[in-house]
Every structure is written in C-alpha cells, then in structure tokens.
Amino acid sequence: MKRSLVVLAIFALPLLGGCKDPDSSGGPATGLLRAGTDIVIKGVRTFTPNDSVAGSNDEYYVVAFTFTNNQGASLAPRIDHFVIEDLQNRRFFGADSGNVSLIGISNYSGTLKVGESHDYTVGFRVPVNTTGTLFYDNSF
C-alpha cells in the first residue's frame, strides 16, 4: 500500500505543479512554436493563468530563447515586440510581468549591436494549444 501511494505521488507531482513541458521527446518547442529568423527557442513551459476569466480558455507560454539582432541597426529590444503569430494570423504580444506565471523573469534591457545575441524569457497569453511562429517585430 505504501509503495502504491509513493508511486501515485510521484506521478501526481507534475500535475500539481501547474506547468508542463509540452513535448520532451522532440525538443522543447515541438508542436507549439516555430522560431522566426532571429530566434533560437531553448524551452517552452505552459502555465494556467491564475486570474480565471469567465469563458476564457487561455494559458501562458513562457518561452526561453536567444534573440540575435539582425534588424540592420543597433536595437534595444522591447519585450512587447516579441510576437507569437498563430496559424490564423492572430498576434500575441510578449510580457515579462503582470501575472504570477511571470514572477521572477528578468530580461536584458541594454542595446544589441547588429549581429549580437542575448537570452530572453518572455510570456505570452494565448488560447490553449496555440501553435505559431515566434519573432521580433520592429515595425511598431
């Protein structure tokens, strides 16, 4: 009986943690996100929002990635310019604060010269099971 409870507890812990790795077999972003030309995705974690909006079926993707500035000029990347665009061309803009799923995220705020790279962790509130492409949009 004790062994059964221990085994059950081991399998239940990830469910209680509130997050999951989308796919551990084929890489961290398999099935969820593709990287745009200046992005290398290192990991994707999903979290259920703690603010339960009635009728909402959203989740947070917290994405760790490396961004290389290939924009043609020095750039101080803004977190809200990192975008996930889904298959229906809906756009979801990045955030690194504003929800408990994003607590502890701290990003580089300096300027990147052309060709320089830096690691970022950015959250995106998206409908459950969203697939799309992550990229940096410098057009706005």
Domain boundaries, the chain: 20-136
Per-residue b or e along 21-35, where b marks 16 or more CB atoms closer than 10 Å to that residue's CB: ebeeeeebbeebbeb
Which option is the CATH number for 20-136: 3.30.70, 3.90.550, 3.40.50, 2.60.40? Answer: 2.60.40
pLDDT one-digit tens code per residue, 38-76: 999 999 999 888 776 666 789 999 999 999 999 999 999
Tokens matching residue 10: 């081991």
Q: How confident is the model at residue 99 (pLDDT cuts 50, 70, 90)?
A: confident
Q: Is the pLDDT of residue 15 over 50?
A: no
Q: Is the pLDDT of residue 21 over 60?
A: no
Q: If residue 120 lies in a helix (H) or strand (E), which one and from where to where? A: strand 117-127
Amino acid (one-letter) located at 15: L
Q: How confident is the model at residue 88 (pLDDT cuts 50, 70, 90)?
A: very high
**Arithmetic mean of pLDDT, 110-133:** 96
| pTM of the full structure | 0.76
**Arithmetic mean of pLDDT, 125-139:** 95
* DSSP SS3 for 3: helix
